[in-house]
Amino acid sequence: MTFNQANKSDLTSIIQLLKNASIELEEKGIDQWKYWQNPPKEKIDWLKQGLLNNEFFFVTENERVIGMFRLLYEDELYWGKQNDKAGYIHSLVIKNEFKGRAFGNKIVAKIETYLLNNQVSLLRLDCVSNNKGLCSYYEKLGFKKVGEVQMPLSLNNLYEKKLN
């Protein structure tokens, strides 16, 4: 499994991955990411900024894209100003045909190793608070809920994991 940095020309592919994930969630009765089915300008701008900052990565296995994520080192939008050095995961998506093979666990573990190798000992992420299954999943990976943030489109739990 490898991580390949996305670039500006990948915007359409990223939007499609997010849209497909949104549709899959909706089909399961999970109210999350519906805005990706017809993304508002501020969400497109958020993606473009992440691409400009080299924060988006495609995850590949046997030369096939299986998913993607965004990795930031500051996240004032969701977390406010923080003093400690941390990595922030956003938009972690696994394509439906690759689910059930523990790729999510492997991706998070590989990000953790990367951060530790770069002297970053905290990993943070957020999750829509009403997606109980996903919240539980992150808690099983060792993340602790440390707060909540009300965003314009959702109430999100804030999770943190100390890396060692």
Tokens coding 28: 């399961």
Whether the model clears a pTM of 0.95, i.e. scores above it, the answer is no
Which token pair is 150?
A: 């009300």
- List, for residues 29-43, the tens digit of each pLDDT value: 888 899 999 999 999
Looking up tokens 């991580």 gives 3
Find the angle CA(95)-CA(68)-CA(87) to the nearest 5 degrees: 140
Q: Exposed (0-12), middle (13-18) or buried (19+): which is 137, by Cβ within 10 Å?
A: middle
Residues 6+ apart with CB under 8 A from 42: none
- CATH number of the structural domain spanning residue 107: 3.40.630.30
As for how many domains the chain has, the answer is 1
Host domain of residue 33: 2-162
pLDDT digits (tens, 9 = 90+) for 53-83: 999 999 999 999 999 999 999 999 999 999 9
What is the structure's pLDDT at 164?
A: 85
